[in-house]
Structure 1
Amino acid sequence: MENEELPAELGVALDAFARYLTAERAVSPHTLRGYLGDVRSLLAHASGEGARALVDLDLGTLRRWLGTQSQAGAARTTLARRSASIRVFTAWALGEERLTADPALRLKAPKRERSLPGVLQARQLARLLAGLEEAAAEGAPLAVRNRAIVELLYATGVRVGELAGLDIDDLDPDRRTLRVIGKGNKERTVPYGVPAALAVDDWLRRGRPVFAKATSGRALFLGSRGGRVDQRQVRAMVNSLFEELGDTSASGPHAFRHSAATHLLDGGADLRAVQEILGHSSLATTQIYTHVSVDRLRKSYQQAHPRA
C-alpha cells in the first residue's frame, strides 16, 4: 500500500520515519526498503481495523498484524525481522512524541532459527583460487578482475556492497590495508595478505586500464563497459564459480565472508578482532562463527572417533 492510500496522519508519520532512517540512521537502501515495507504493512493493517492516527496503535494491533503474517506463511526469521522493524518505528515515534507509550515493548516474536552459514573448506578454496589464478594468467581482463575480487572478498571478509563501493584510494598497498565504509557509514580498516595484494596489483596493471574510461572515476573494480562493478555482476560471477566447484552448498559472495571469519577463528584469531574486521556492531553477531567451528569439530569427531 502506498503512503497516499494510508490515512493522512499515518502517511505523514511514515514519511517522517523514512527521513529519520536516511538522515540520522544512515541505513542502506536495502535496509530502508525493508523497514518501510514492514511499517507500511503494519499501518495498512491498522488502517483496516479503523486506525487513523499513531495513537490508535496498541499491542493488540501489533499482535494481530503478526498473526496475519504468520497465517500467510511468513517464516520465523521473517516475523522476527518485521517485529524488529516495528520496534524501531514505535521507539522513534515515542521519541518524537507521536506516541504517548510504546506498544511494542511487550511484543514478542518467534525467535530466529540459528542457521549456520555456508562455509568453504580450505581445500575447496585452494582449488577455486588456483583455477582463477590459472585463468588470469592467460591475460583476459575479466579473468584478472574476477581473481582480484575473489581474493579480496576472502582476504578481508568485506560485504559485496562494500567491495563494489571501493575506490583505488581506499587501498594502502604499503601497509596492505583497506579502508571500508560499512553499514551506517561506519569506516573501518581491514588488513589483507600477499595473495590478495598480488591479485589486485595485477588487476590495476593489466585489467583495469582495458576497461577504464573518462567516466570511470576512481572506482577500484569496473565492469566491461567502464562503470563501477555492480553487486549483481559479482554475485553472478561468484555463483558461477561455485557451480563449477560442484561440491559445496555455499552461495553468493557472503560465503567468502563466512569462510574468512570461520577460518580466522579456527586459526586462533581473537573474537573481538574478527568483529572489527567484519564490521559487526555486536559481538553476538560474530559469535555465530564460533558455532560454525564447533559444528565442524563435532562432525570431525563423530566421523573419526571409534566411540563417537
Structure 2
Amino acid sequence: MVTSRTAQMRAALPPALAEPLDAWVEHLDSGRDLSPHTVRAYTGDVVSLLDHLVRRGGARITDLDLAALRSWLALGRTRGDGRSTTARRAASARSFTAHLRRTGLTGEDIGLRLASPRAHRTLPDVLTADQARAVAETPRPVAEDAGPEAGALALRDALVVDLLYATGIRVGELVGLDVDDVDHGRRLLRVLGKGRKERSVPYGVPAEQALRRWLDAGRPVLSRSGSGPALLLGVRGGRIDPREVRRVVHAATAAVPGAPELGPHGLRHSAATHVLEGGADLRSVQELLGHASLATTQIYTHVTVERLRAVHATAHPRA
C-alpha cells in the first residue's frame, strides 16, 4: 500500500510531471517482472524526487537535471538515509531517467552520471548444522484435546521448515508451489523464481518424508473447495500467506536453545552456507538459489570464511 504522504505528493504533481511518472510506473508493473514491494519502493522514491523538483521551481520533465538529482539524494542523507536507502533511491532515479530517454521525453539520460554509494553487504546470521537439524527435527507441539486441524497445521509447519532449509528457496517461491510442482520420484521441486525464471531444486529424504505426511494426513484436513492446487494451505484452506510462513520459522528457530531466531531468509542463508561448507562449488550454489549473478552468491564465501576465523580465534592456542 502506498503511504498517504506519497499519495498526497503524487496527487499534487503538475500534469507535465505526473504523466511521465504514470507511464514509468505502468512500465514497471507490466514489463520488468518486479515484485509489488519493489514497484512500491521505486514509485515512492520517484514521487519524492519529482516533489523535490517542484520545490526547486521545476514544472516540466526537462527541468530534471543532474543538480536536482544530487540535491535530492543529499537531502535524504541529511534526513538520515543510510547507504542502502541512498543506493536504492539512486537506482530508482536511474530507472526513471532511462525510461524518459527511451520514450523520447528527454534527449539525454542524466541518471547515467549519477553516482551513489554502494550498499553495505552485511553478513547474515546462520544456524550451525546441528542447530539446523534441531530446528527441523523438533516436534511441533499439539495439545491433547486439539482437533484434527491442529495436527494438520503441525504437519504443515514441519514441512515449511524442512523444505526451506532443504532447498534454500525464497519464501515467495515456497508459497507459490503447487502440488504438481513436486517430483517425488526424483525429489525435485519446480520453482518459479524472480523474473519468472523456472528452475528445478533438489531436496532430501527427510523433506520427502515430511511431504508425504503432509499430503497424506495434513493437506486433506485443511483442503476446501476453493483450495486449488496450492501445496501449502492456511487454516481456512487457501494458499498459505508469507506472513504465516515467517511466523512458523521464527517460532521454530526460537524453540532451539542457543540458535539465532531467524526468518525464512535465514534458513536460505543457512542452507547455502552449509552446502558450500560441504564442498559444493559456487556456481552450483548459484543455480540452487536462483541468483542471476554469481556476485550475489559470493557473499556466502565470506560467511564461511568469517565462521572459520571465529572458530580459529576460540580454538587455536596461539590465535
Query: Please, which runs of 5 or more residues in structure 1 have no aligned partner?
Result: none
Does residue 103 of structure 2 align to residue 96 of structure 1?
yes
CA offset at residue 246 of structure 1? Answer: 4.2
Does residue 124 of structure 2 align to residue 113 of structure 1?
no
Letter in 1 for 2:242: Q
Does residue 153 of structure 2 align to residue 142 of structure 1?
yes
2:83 counterpart residue number: 76
- Rounded Cα–Cα distance in structure 1 between residues aligned with 2:11 and 2:140: 54
Does residue 49 of structure 2 align to residue 42 of structure 1?
yes
CA offset at residue 249 of structure 1? Answer: 3.2
Higher deviation after alignment, 54-63 or 254-263: 54-63
Q: Is the 8 A contact 1:280 1:286 kept in 2?
A: yes
Aligned partner of residue 199 in structure 2, secondary structure: strand
CA offset at residue 135 of structure 1? Answer: 6.5
- Rounded Cα–Cα distance in structure 1 between residues aligned with 2:181 and 2:48: 40
Does residue 304 of structure 2 align to residue 293 of structure 1?
yes
Aligned partner of residue 132 in structure 1, secondary structure: coil
2:3 counterpart residue number: none
Counting only pairs closer than 5 Å after superposition, residues 1-308 of structure 1 correspond to structure 2 as: 1-2=6-7, 3-132=10-139, 140-308=151-319
Instruction: Tell me the C-alpha RMSD between the 2 structures.
Output: 1.7
CA deviations 1:160-181 (Å, max 9, x no partner) are 1111111111111111111111
- Rounded Cα–Cα distance in structure 1 between residues aligned with 2:297 and 2:138: 30
Q: Is the 8 A contact 1:26 1:184 kept in 2?
A: yes
1:23 and 1:112, CA in 2 relative to 1: closer, same or farther beyond 3 A?
A: same
Query: Please, which runs of 5 or more residues in structure 2 have no aligned partner?
Result: 1-5
Q: Is the 8 A contact 1:118 1:250 kept in 2?
A: no
TM-score (norm 2): 0.92
Higher deviation after alignment, 279-288 or 22-31: 22-31
- Rounded Cα–Cα distance in structure 2 between residues aligned with 1:30 and 1:233: 18
Aligned partner of residue 217 in structure 2, secondary structure: helix
TM-score (norm 1): 0.95
Aligned residues: 307
Aligned partner of residue 104 in structure 1, secondary structure: helix
CA offset at residue 251 of structure 1? Answer: 2.1
- Rounded Cα–Cα distance in structure 1 between residues aligned with 2:112 and 2:52: 19
CA offset at residue 151 of structure 1? Answer: 0.6
